[in-house]
Structure 1
Amino acid sequence: MSSAVREKHDLGVPTKVHTRDPEALKPVLAELLAAEFPERAALTVTRADAPTGAGVNNETLLLDLAWRGGEGGAVLRIDSADTLFPQPAFDTHIALYQLVAELTDVPVPRAFGLHTDPALFGRPFFFMDRIKGRVPSDQPPFHTEGWVYDLDTAARASMWRQAVAAMAKLHALPLDRLTMLERPALGRSGVEQQFVYKLGYMEWALDGDRHPVLEAAADWLRANLPADAGTGFAWGDARPQNLMFDDGQLVALLDWDMASLGGAEMDFAWWTIMDLSVTHARGVPRLSGWGSPADTMALWEQLSGRKLRDMRWHFAFAAFRAGVIVMRLAKMLDARGHLPAQSMDWKDNNIGIQYLASMLDLPPMSADSRPWPGPAA
């Protein structure tokens, strides 16, 4: 692919900026992991690198390990003081990995070694097993180049179907095991709790500024909250870039930063906005074999045996959340001097905001704002 085409489709946003020196961390990490694996004599950390191609919120290091007679890997996940959004308590992340492993056959890495004492790294942290596999790229989008792009149609279709099947299993998790996600003070249902939570996030992200589309959308969402809004597990950041595959098989589902009790509808509305933001919004054809958002929802309904409900409201809420999150990200990066010139409009007219204005017939922020194409696009 030419450099001009590559530049056109690059999202222009860096992954998480790390300020720690991985080399300096290696001895203490080796000591911690040796305590977790006493059978691995003379364990050392031979390499520590930040991931590339995905991730702007989490502080993560990929570790190569060696010990007498063997080698392997681990992942270090450190709670971030500088986040895109208010998120569940840090120990909820490890609890969800462990719960999914206990109650389903959805593949997740084994999570272990939670340390809540900030003495070592200034923040809580835990480890995960490092899984062999590859993740569809965020930057540039996997529909434009890379290993998924190079697969044949049948292989991509199989990956997509596995992703939808895994989500169907997640959405069936029992509510009595998910009490760590409850926010009863914010509403009666999981949907209402998540909506009220995100209204507070909008105010936090705006930090005293005003935004006509977001504020008008908040009023519409409040007035049109589904009367029978339900409660169910939502993965949260439901998108292909949080899935890992190896030789065509799904080997890990990752990232609980946005987990909630908003239910399956919340996940598929988010999947839709994320899909369209890197295909329709950028003039990029979706890869053959990879189902459209409408196809994805139809397959889930077939697998789960129920219909998704109130999707107009959920699409608007997903666009609202995306608009606020990307606005927050852009402001964070701009304050550090890291926001690329091609992404300056993300501060007030990103694709979530553009879609939101179109969905709700609100005045667009600019004449070239993209219209909402619907999930079949």
Structure 2
Amino acid sequence: MSSSNNDNDNDNDNNPGTSVVRLQINVSKLEQYLVSRIPGFKTPLEVKQFKYGQSNPTYHLIDANKKNYVLRKKPPGKLLDKTAHAVEREFKVLDALSRNTDVPVPKVYILCEDNEILGTPFFVMEYLKGRIFEEVLFSPLPVEERRKCWYSAIESLAKLHSVNYKSIGLENYGKPSGFYSRQIRSLPKISEKQAATMDDEGNKVGPLPRLNEMIQWFKNNEIADDTSIIHGDFKIDNLVFHPTEPRVIGILDWELSTIGHPLSDLANLLMNFFVKDIPYSPIPGLRDVKNLSIPSANELIQVYCEKSGRQYPIPNFEFAIAFTFFRTAVILQGIAARIARKQASSDKAKEYAKFFKDINLMGFEIIDRTIKSKL
């Protein structure tokens, strides 16, 4: 999460902070492992768990030198999807980007795939001292800084999408074409598995509403193919901003990254602008808000196109936005499935999980509006 190696997260009001360790780890084994592999690491180790992170348990480590680290690991137990929680992939992309590009990411120190240490694979990375904003309006900041933070987020995304992934050793990190086609085939299968997951009382998670109709529309209206490194969950609360300046210094949470369609990241980042406000929803909706104190979605799309050399306006961008709602609904449904299986690591998991049906229906509203506009 954040790096000054001399400071912890308690001096930062915009850092989501830590809580008690919800998923225990073997600190003694971890100490022995890190002492032998990270130069300068010194025991004893203080361990906290970050409050953020819906799937991969994430820990704040402070060694005897008061140097800070972050540890990310796979959750315990049997996983519904073997490709999920891929901390090994996170390590690989962070290592390549931090060593070979100016994309703002934390440095990584070590990947451990030996289950004897902590039960599941994990990696250790740099702690970035900075600010993490949990809402897209950047409310604590002056208006001009809010706008600059958004511009920096967009520019960081354009910078990522401009990287030649083959030149930094990521040519095998994903398939070079057909990203959306594969997602259209795979996500419904994942959703069906999640829907059938039962809790201890025999209650099923349940299906996404209008799933078959939505998938058919995606098949009939797929966006033109394109390829770059994609983050997979690029959004404001996965960014670390400089402690005092309105600029991104780190992009976090790479478990869903791959080689894929760059517009999937852009649509994910701008999703809030297309969400209607629902009481108690963990995804704030800006769709019907007037006089925003941040740039509009259209303005941000223009900046992205300018920085990435892409055509503006983006043809068929409605597809990317609608697909983001569907994909988000599948992710939230997955959190609900982990709750049913007692695998959720976040104390906010239940709050997120109950909205998966609402989010999918909002995606269908975009589809309906697109269909009507073409009549």
Common fold, TM-score beyond 0.5?
yes
Partner of 2:171: 179
Q: Is the 8 A contact 1:16 1:55 kept in 2?
A: no
| Structure of greater relative contact order (alpha carbons < 8 Å, 6+ residues apart) | 2
The root-mean-square deviation of aligned C-alpha atoms, in Å, is 3.4
Could you tell me which runs of 5 or more consecutive residues in structure 1 were left unpaired when the two chains were aligned: 1-14, 363-370, 372-377
CA–CA distance in structure 2, aligned partners of residues 197 and 17 of structure 1: 36
Correspondent of 1:280 among 280, 285, 288: 285
Q: Is the 8 A contact 1:330 1:339 kept in 2?
A: no
Correspondent of 2:239 among 233, 238, 243: 243
Q: CA deviation at 1:284?
A: 6.9
Correspondent of 1:75 among 70, 74, 82: 70
Q: Is the 8 A contact 1:62 1:73 kept in 2?
A: yes
Mapping for residues 226-305 of structure 1, pairs under 5 Å: 226=223, 228-245=224-241, 246-248=243-245, 249-274=247-272, 276-277=274-275, 278-280=283-285, 288=293, 290-305=294-309
Change beyond 3 A, Cα 1:261–1:192? farther
Counterpart AA for 1:346: F
CA–CA distance in structure 2, aligned partners of residues 253 and 157 of structure 1: 18
Mapping for residues 113-192 of structure 1, pairs under 5 Å: 113-137=110-134, 141=135, 143=137, 148-176=138-166, 177-183=169-175, 188-192=177-181
CA–CA distance in structure 1, aligned partners of residues 316 and 288 of structure 2: 28
Partner of 2:37: 36
Determine helix, strand or coil for the equivalent of 1:77.
Answer: strand
Q: CA deviation at 1:265?
A: 0.9
Partner of 1:306: 310
Correspondent of 2:325 among 310, 319, 323: 319
Change beyond 3 A, Cα 1:354–1:109? same
Q: Deviations over 1:307-366 (max 9, x none)?
A: 23431211121111112211222343356598899778525x22x21212212239xxxx
Determine helix, strand or coil for the equivalent of 1:252.
Answer: strand
Q: CA deviation at 1:123?
A: 0.5
Q: Is the 8 A contact 2:175 2:259 kept in 1?
A: no
Q: CA deviation at 1:244?
A: 0.4
Equivalent pairs counted in the alignment come to 329
Q: CA deviation at 1:270?
A: 1.2
Determine helix, strand or coil for the equivalent of 2:63.
Answer: strand
Change beyond 3 A, Cα 1:342–1:55? closer
Q: CA deviation at 1:210?
A: 4.7
Counterpart AA for 1:72: K
State the TM-score, normalized to the length of structure 2: 0.76
Mapping for residues 186-201 of structure 1, pairs under 5 Å: 188-201=177-190
CA–CA distance in structure 1, aligned partners of residues 193 and 100 of structure 2: 35
CA–CA distance in structure 1, aligned partners of residues 43 and 20 of structure 2: 28
CA–CA distance in structure 2, aligned partners of residues 181 and 207 of structure 1: 31
CA–CA distance in structure 1, aligned partners of residues 244 and 55 of structure 2: 28
CA–CA distance in structure 1, aligned partners of residues 364 and 20 of structure 2: 32
CA–CA distance in structure 2, aligned partners of residues 17 and 313 of structure 1: 41
Counterpart AA for 2:334: R
Q: Deviations over 1:225-254 (max 9, x none)?
A: 23x422222211010000001212322111
Q: Is the 8 A contact 2:60 2:71 kept in 1?
A: yes
